């Protein structure tokens, strides 16, 4: 009986060792994947910073003003001035539509009861 207990314990220990070994490899694989993702995120952030810098460089007001002057004949772009803008009281808001009255009810005699 004692030998059966020893064999069962030994087999259980081998099974647990195999499980721990397998879990260790899965954990190492996931950690490697996380490191790759972190590197990819860092590279994407660097690319984004470069793109933002390029966007800021391309949208410099002096450069855009020069481009507008060079292409004035084709585009007809003028600098914005305060008189180009309107005020809020100049906005023409649409009038609400008039709803047609169908089947009107006379309320002057509806509330009065005859004694």
Instruction: Please write the tens of the pLDDT for every residue from 23-70.
Output: 999 999 999 999 999 999 999 999 999 999 999 999 999 998 899 889
Domain range for 16: 2-76
CA distances from 91 to 26, 85, 87, 94, 95 (A): 66, 11, 7, 10, 12
Give the pLDDT band of residue 110 (cuts 50, 70, 90). Answer: low
pTM above 0.85, yes or no: no
Looking at the structure of the chain, the number of domains it has is 1
112 occurs within a structural domain: no
11 occurs within a structural domain: yes
pLDDT value at residue 109: 64
28 occurs within a structural domain: yes
CA distances from 102 to 28, 96, 99, 105 (A): 78, 18, 9, 9
92 occurs within a structural domain: no
52 occurs within a structural domain: yes
């Amino acid at each position: 009986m004692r030998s059966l207990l020893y064999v069962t314990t030994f087999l259980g220990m081998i099974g647990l060792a195999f499980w721990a070994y397998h879990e260790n490899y899965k954990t190492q694989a996931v950690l490697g994947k996380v490191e790759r993702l972190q590197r990819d995120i860092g590279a994407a952030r660097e690319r984004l910073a470069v793109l933002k810098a390029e966007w800021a460089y391309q949208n410099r007001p002096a450069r855009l003003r020069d481009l507008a002057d060079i292409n004035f004949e084709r585009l007809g772009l003028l600098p914005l001035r305060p008189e180009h803008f309107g005020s809020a009281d100049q906005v023409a808001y649409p009038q609400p539509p008039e709803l047609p009255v169908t089947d009107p009810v006379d309320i002057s005699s509806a509330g009065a009861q005859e004694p």
